[in-house]
Amino acid sequence: MAHLQAESVSKGELRLCARLGLDEAGTQSLLAAMRAGVSSRAAVVLTSRAPEGYVPPFACEKLDAEWLPPHVYVPAAGEKPTSYPDYAEGFYYSLDLSSCWESACLAEVERPATSLDMCAAPGGKTMLMAARFGGQNHTANEVHPGRRGILRQNLQQCGYPDVEVTGFRPDQWARHGHTFDLLLVDAPCSGQSLLCKGIKNPGCLSSSMVNGNAKRQKGILLSAVQCVAPGGHIVYTTCTYDPEENEKVISYILKRVPGWSAVEVASLSAFRSALSEFPAYRLLPVHGFGAGGFCCLLRKNN
């Protein structure tokens, strides 16, 4: 490796790059991003509190990206959207641009009559869903009590007090028997992209953490598929890179559970994963739209 000495690269980093099938240039790019920790890129999504015709008070970039969701703005370099009074007023919610990229899957979904964000805290995916479809008949679920409190606070601040906040485990939802037209599953993961944001995340590249999360994610999805009405959808997302937690989790579900298929997302075609035969999408720091992530849209056919 020309830029990174081989002895400075850990076994976990080498294993990840090999699993991703990266060539020398791709390996150098990803490892450099992990070390630099500056790939995070801010975005804001307007909320129900924003007045009609509202435009954020800070300078924004005009992003040439077909996948950019509605009501999302990208602050210009150096801008800090959370420092403006409008943020405290709840006119917009701040999150990483890569989360907005993941929500592009929603463009292929008709407005749901009912929806559930199964792993909702701190609330970003719910905000993006509400910006596209509205927050009516939406449930935001978070198992962890502390994170559930943050979720509830964010929803209230941004003008969604009517969104029901719950704290059930995925298996409890499955036993409940209620079905939804749309499920958001932003699954707990090893969070490897945090390294590219400059956030320490010890052990995120270890096989034990990756495999443990993959097992948990499969369990969550096995419960989630029982909570979807015929013709409904699941948007599965993570903020990690390893295929064990992404493509292989989806492959496991498609092989194990009849009646499900992965759906093409037209606006994400440039990000189509080469690691699966079905449509799935991955973002890396080299793309320039944040720290990265993975998404796949699943449809219940019957």
By annotation, the residues acting in catalysis are 239
Q: List the end-to-end C-alpha distance of the chain, in Å, as a whole number.
A: 50
Element (H, E) at 67: none
- Look at residue 211 and give its three-state secondary structure: helix
Q: How many CB atoms lie within 10 A of CB 254?
A: 17
| Long-range contact pairs involving 281-287 (C-beta distance under 8 Å, separation at least 24) | 282/241, 282/246, 283/98, 283/101, 283/102, 284/29, 284/30, 284/33, 284/241, 285/29, 285/30, 285/33, 285/39, 285/193, 285/196, 286/26, 286/29, 286/30, 286/33
With CA atoms as reference, report the closest residue to 131 among 187, 70, 191: 70
Structure token digits, residue 116: 């559930």
Structure token digits, residue 159: 């003008």
Element (H, E) at 296: strand 293-300
Is-cis flag, bond preceding 122, omega within 30? yes
Element (H, E) at 180: strand 180-186
Q: Determine the distance from the C-alpha atom of residue 50 to the mean position of all C-alpha atoms in its chain, rounded to a whole number.
A: 24
